[in-house]
Structure 1
Amino acid sequence: MFTDNRFNSFSLADIKRDMIAGLTVGIVAIPLGMAFAIASGVKPEYGLYTTIFAGLLVALFGGSRFQIAGPTGAFIPILLAIVLEYGYEKLLVAGFLSGFILLLMGIFKFGKLIQFIPRSVTIGFTSGIAVIIFSGQIGNFLGLEELEKKQYFHENMMQIVENISFINWYSVCTALIGLFVIIFIPKVLPKVPILLVALILPTAVAMLLYPSEVATIGTSFGGIPQSLPSFRMPEVTWGTIAELWQPAFVIAMLGGIESLLSAVVSDGMTGTKHNSNRELVGQGIANMVTPMFGGIPATGAIARTATNIKSGAISPFSGIFQSVFVLLILLLFAPFASNIPLASMAPILMIVAYNMSEYKSFIHILKLKTGDSLVLVVTFLLTVFVNLTTAVQIGLLLAMVSFIKRMSEVLQVEKVIPDKIKDTIHGNHLDTLSSTCPKLSFYTVGGALFFGAADKFESIITRSINQRPKVLILKMKHVSILDATGAANLDSLVTDFKNMGGIIIISEANSDVMAMLKASGLLYKIGEHHIFRRSEEAVNYGLQLIEVSKCSVCSKENRTSCKAFKQNNNVSLSSSDQ
């Protein structure tokens, strides 16, 4: 189904560059994998398993040369909520189901559809996730060991306030050392693997100066096994599917957005082009297989992918080497990870939260004071105070309502006057449109004639019908969409107008509108001979249908507008209608 040229045209030198890039990314991925797992409410080794298996499978089956997959901060709130409500075992099921959804999305070529999710929604829940990640690390930063993870933001904040008197200043000191390393060391030594140093240095200080005074991975989780877990298929039943399909769908959508955004970033950095549908397939396979080895949901990681590119990666082999490197570190050095203080992971996640917050974009959209601003704020607040599932659903619903409202306002229906009719009317008769030609009404229609705007269109045109013209011409050159509701309203208009003895003429409709007119039967109801490619021809034809003797304008003395038209077929429209 998909051709793969990502591994083409590489040499031994390229393999060497991929190996260096893979090792570099692996050094970054190890602390992040453990930190994201702990923040998600599971053991740190599950984050390493995810880094190994998801990184390998996305490199093999994904749609980008440079994509690095693994656990990410974006998943933390929803994974933590699943763990707290359902437990770790059902998290594996939700991850498996999300992988299946991603796989189907890739197979059925839904890769391009994700780009239609409004930016106000993605910025809203991304900023909300950042707040949750940052606030979730305050307890570890302060060394508050008696905190119990709660599902809701306000509950966690209340716990911190209630336990603030139990601050462990050793933990604060450890966290500040890590924060100092992350902020200031890159300015002096930019090539140093800063996140790894931010773990090693505080750990060394804690072990040498105040051992047993801070909570560590060993004291909190019992250490990290020096082996891979055995294969175990998640227990997927109809009951668990019914129970977990909503969080699984949110994981899939979030993973799809994050991975494709990461692929777009890598395209911009390298000048390459990813295959979005193949990327979804790769992410789907990774998220179906990883839970079989105890891993949590994964997606493309923007920061690690960028690090991969900057480190000289050439092909997906860099992602493979990253997975192999993390596996070797797990097998050889896992016991040493037991001494890592939880406080040293807090500043890493806080910086991750700050970087992913997109606060500049948040402020920019907020200042617009439009429907997008409302969608942004609602999505953000629901993410923080309720949950990500509800936030995405309500955010998308509000975005759709806002879009429909804007599209309905775009529809323009304007009455215009052909030049030569205008030229033949004298005096005050030009003050009203009805005085120019009561027997012929000409309207230009522009925008989307869909369910959100159909009533507006019908009400405007109905006012013209009430003036009882003989001919109604609708110039539809700028009608971009005609949906079933718009066609139904137009059908009602045609029926009412014909019952009054009038004739409707359509001019300059595009191929899509013509297709809908034909499919709905309106083309035959209006009459194919009443459809014109040029508005000038439509006006000429319409004027031939007018009975001058019965016209309230032309029947009067010295009124010869339509009489002149009867003798002249070269009728043009006003310049504003061209």
Structure 2
Amino acid sequence: MAFFFRPKLVDSLKAYSREQLGADIAAGLTVGVVALPLAMAFAIASGLKPEAGLFTAIIAGFIISALGGSKVQIGGPAGAFIVIVYGILERYGLANLIIATAASGVLLFIMGLLKLGTLIRFIPVAVVIGFTNGIAVLIMLSQAKDFLGLKVSNMPADFFGILRALSDALPSFQPTSFALALGSLLLIVVWQRTFAARPSQTQASGLRRTLQVIPGSIVALVVATLVAQSLSLPVETIGSKFGGIPSALPSFVWPEFSLEALKNLSMPIFTITLLGAIESLLCARIADGLIGDRHNPNQELMAQGVANFVTPFFGGMPATGTIARTVTNVKSGGRSPVAGMVHALTLLVVVWVAAPLANHVPLAALAAILMFVAWNMGEWHAFSDLKQFRAPYRITLLAVFLLTVMVDLTVAVEFGLFAACVTFIYRISNLSRVEQLSPVDTQALIGQDGRISAYRFYGALFFGAVKLVEAIEDHLPQKAVILDLKNIIYIDSSGADALMALAQVCQKRQVRLLICGLNHQPMDIAKRTGLLDLVGKDCQPDWGTGLETALSSENL
């Protein structure tokens, strides 16, 4: 069997206690309160109705916690998907967004099924930082409309289109919306800096501990709503823009589907899949460090796949692991998937009971919350730290950042991976080297000058380093060539082919070729490619004993 489907919930319940249940319920309630404004804000910024974010947090959040490979990861809509979802909606429409999200869920499940979870770690940090910062910039730019109270009938998805639309809408600037958004943002910043829990404040008073649990986003949302209502401010609200939030979960919806549509959605599907896998596994790794546990990346991918396959058919959007809510869960005492399930149920109760209250929430306050989220998701210090790194790292990070902002996330990631591969190949080829041994290196070569040449290889003999073997062909001695490969850790098919070509040239010129010191992988590929047969059994010293054995061979 290719996998073993075992959610972390199964292991967590083995030694579950009443005390832990109380802590998980408290953490789940706290995370539910934190997730409420974020879920609505992410959906609105993505071009969807606010309930799409809530439904995603409820359905996907419950599934990811119940089936996931992390004890404390909280799933739901994420800021990283805002730009992607908005672009898909504008270009392909809502029905195709459902198809793309569901298809990405299938791919995520297959990735977990095939145990590809660890491959995500091979994505270079420069690529991750580049597109994360780029997405943060695009989120802040997309919120400028509601933050400034601008009247934009149709906001484009591309960078230059957004700038053009905002520029054209500047005459509609509303000082009231701007003041409300700015005040909300300042309140969030001040609240977080004043009441955010710190290790040194573990003995804080009861009131302070209570205030530490309440997130600044909820405080800003409530205050902005009360101010707007009491003063009858002329600002746009969820009710005036979307007609409110339904107080029940949506029914199952099956979109129009065709294979042709699936072909056209290949890039959106790839983007959602890649971003969902990266975000969820990075978040799970951060959670591991907070609780001292180790997540199962393949199980996590399968849970993400199930969530993303199911959720869009019930009015949801793409979901993944969310760092801010996961950290909140850990800090609030959550230590099992039960906390994440309680968080989803909390949001469900809010939808059933308090949905009408959301009608009065100003969009300017939600824009302020997203501005704060976007600023915190970006790793801005990475730009000032660039001077510590070499040119390839700088170029990769900056190129991915600029391509994400100005072109497309998929193009940015593709370029980043390509640049990282080229850089890696170049550096490994430079680390691979060969040195010609002289009589000083071994007494066995004394008196054989000009008749025998010996070379010692280091590093990896792959397609980027075959020139090292090809150079030997131009300086063949009269009698024999000895290649010491005991310091070679890897040979690929191109390297083996170069060695075979050298052996053939040696045969034509009647020069013996002796190869010694092959380790496990080089020996294996030498057998499979026929190199050993080509060199000939009579020309082989005891493989693995090194150069000295080769020099003492009777063949010389």
**Does residue 253 of structure 1 match 2:269?**
no
Q: Is the 8 A contact 1:105 1:281 kept in 2?
A: yes
Q: How far has the Cα of 1:47 moved from its partner?
A: 0.3
Q: CA deviation at 1:326?
A: 0.2
Distance 1:36 1:420 in 2: 67
Paired residue for 1:229? 250
CA distance in 2, matches of 1:97, 1:23: 32
Q: 1:449 to 1:351 in 2, by over 3 A?
A: same
1:447 — aligned with what? 459
Aligned to 1:502: 511
Aligned: 1:202 with 2:224 = yes
CA distance in 1, matches of 2:484, 2:535: 14
How big is the alpha-carbon RMSD for the aligned residues of Structure 1 and Structure 2?
Answer: 1.8
Structure-1 separation of matches of 2:172 and 2:312: 37
Correspondence 1:330 to 2:351:
yes
Q: Distance in 2 between matches of 1:497 and 1:303?
A: 64
Aligned to 2:74: 68
Q: How does 1:115-130 map to 2 (within 5 A)?
A: 115-130=121-136
- Call closer, same or farther: CA 1:366–1:156 in 2, change over 3 Å: farther
Given candidates 458, 469, 472, the residue that maps to 1:458 is: 469
SS in structure 1 opposite 2:251? coil
Which residues of 2 match residues 75-224 of structure 1 at below 5 A? 75-190=81-196, 191=212, 192-211=214-233, 213-224=234-245
Q: Is contact 2:496-2:529 (8 Å) kept?
A: yes
Contact 2:519 2:544 in 1 (8 A): no
Aligned partner of 1:2 in structure 2 is 5
Shift of 1:452: 1.9
Cα deviation for residue 119 of structure 1 reads: 1.3
Contact 1:171 1:214 in 2 (8 A): yes
Partner amino acid, structure 1, of 2:366: M
Alpha-carbon shift at residue 117 of structure 1 (Å):
1.0
1:310 aligned residue? 331
Amino acid at match of 1:515: D
- Of the structure 1 ranges 317-326 and 370-379, higher mean CA displacement relative to structure 2 is found in 370-379
How far off its partner does 1:368 sit? 2.0
SS in 2 for 1:5: helix
Give the Cα–Cα distance (whole angstroms) in 2 for the partners of residues 519 and 423 of structure 1.
Answer: 32
Match among 487, 494, 506 for residue 485 of structure 1: 494
* Shift of residue 419, structure 1, vs aligned partner: 3.6
TM-score normalised per structure 1: 0.89
Deviation at 1:483, TM superposition (A): 0.9
**CA shift for structure 1 position 71:** 0.5
SS in 2 for 1:112: helix
Q: Residues 74 and 424 from structure 1, CA distance in 2 versus in 1: closer, same or farther, beyond 3 angstroms?
A: closer
Aligned pairs for 1:390-409 (under 5 A) are: 390-409=411-430
Q: Show CA shifts across 1:521-568 (max 9, x none).
A: 1011113451432224334335x544xxxxxxxxxxxxxxxxxxxxxx
Deviation string for 1:291-328 (max 9, x for gaps)?
A: 11110000000111111011001210001100000000
- Contact kept, 8 Å, 1:23 with 1:325, in 2: the verdict is yes
Q: Is the 8 A contact 1:366 1:376 kept in 2?
A: no
Distance 2:439 2:76 in 1: 65
For 1:32 and 1:143, locate their aligned partners in 2 and report how far apart those are by CA, in whole Å: 20
Higher mean alpha-carbon deviation, 22-31 vs 369-378, is at 369-378
Once the two structures are superposed, residues 190-240 of structure 1 have per-residue CA deviations (whole angstroms, 9 ceiling, x without a partner) of 3132111111111111111233x1111111111111111001234443122
State the alpha-carbon separation in 1 of the partners of residues 277 and 347 from structure 2: 24
CA contact (8 A) 1:367 1:373 kept: no
| 1:252-282 Cα shifts (integer Å, max 9, x gaps) | 1111111111111111111111111000000
Distance 1:322 1:480, change over 3 A: same
User: Displacement of 1:379 after TM fit?
Assistant: 1.4
Aligned AA (1:20): A
The one of 544, 552, 556 equivalent to 1:541 is 552
Contact 1:49 1:295 in 2 (8 A): yes
Distance (whole Å) between structure 2 residues aligned to residue 61 and residue 162 of structure 1: 48
Whether the 8 Å CA contact 2:180–2:224 is kept in 1: the answer is: yes
| Identity among equivalent pairs (%) | 41
Q: CA deviation at 1:330?
A: 0.7
* Separation in structure 1 between the aligned mates of residue 262 and residue 272 of structure 2, nearest angstrom: 14
Cα 1:420/1:242, change in 2 over 3 Å: closer
Q: 1:451 to 1:38 in 2, by over 3 A?
A: same
Q: Which amino acid is 1:158 matched to?
A: R
Q: How far 1:394 sits from its partner (Å)? A: 2.2
- Could you tell me which residue of structure 2 aligns to residue 321 of structure 1? 342
User: What residue identity is the alignment partner of 1:376?
Assistant: L
2:181 and 2:364 in contact (8 A); partners too: yes
* 2:54 maps to 1:48: yes
In structure 2, C-alpha distance between the alignment counterparts of 1:84 and 1:308, rounded to whole Å: 34
CA distance in 1, matches of 2:35, 2:120: 26
The answer to whether the 8 A contact 2:526-2:532 is kept is yes
Distance in 2, matches of 1:117 and 1:261, equals: 11
CA shift for structure 1 position 458: 2.6
Higher mean alpha-carbon deviation, 388-397 vs 110-119, is at 388-397
The DSSP-based 3-state class of the residue aligned with 2:475 is helix
Off by >6 Å, runs of 4+ in structure 1:
422-425
Q: Structure 1: which amino acid aligns with 2:511?
A: G
Specify the alignment match of 2:482 in structure 1.
473
Determine whether 1:19 maps to 2:31: no
Aligned partners of 1:493, 1:319: CA distance in 2, in Å?
A: 62
How far off its partner does 1:164 sit?
Answer: 2.0
**Structure 1 residues 481 and 365: CA distance shift in structure 2, 3 A:** farther
Q: Distance in 1 between matches of 2:137 and 2:384?
A: 15
Q: Deviations over 1:340-372 (max 9, x none)?
A: 111101121111111111112244346524222
Go from structure 1 to structure 2 and tell me whether the alpha carbon gap of 1:54 and 1:366 turns closer, same or farther (over 3 Å shift).
Answer: farther
For 2:374, the equivalent position in structure 1 comes to 353
Q: Distance in 2 between matches of 1:135 and 1:365?
A: 24
Shift of 1:148: 2.2
Greater alpha carbon shift after TM alignment, 527-536 vs 129-138: 527-536
Instruction: Tell me the SS of whatever aligns to 1:501.
Output: coil
CA contact (8 A) 2:473 2:505 kept: no
1:89 deviates by 1.7
Verify the 8 A CA contact 2:24 2:339 in the aligned structure 1.
yes
SS at match of 1:506: strand
AA in 2 matched with 1:30: L
Q: Distance in 1 between matches of 2:296 and 2:53?
A: 27
Offset at residue 8 of structure 1 (A)? 2.1
Aligned residues: 532
| Residues 421, 436 of structure 1: 8 Å contact kept | no
- Structure 1 residue 25, shift from structure 2 partner: 0.4
SS in structure 2 opposite 1:323?
Answer: helix
Deviations 1:23-42, CA, capped at 9 Å, x for gaps: 00001101110111111111
Q: Indicate yes or no: 2:459 matched with 1:438.
A: no
Indicate the residue corresponding to 1:278 in structure 2.
299
Distance 2:367 2:83 in 1: 16
- Structure 2 length normalisation: TM-score? 0.92
Distance 2:355 2:71 in 1: 30
The residue number in structure 2 matching 1:384 is 405
Who is 1:415 aligned against? 436
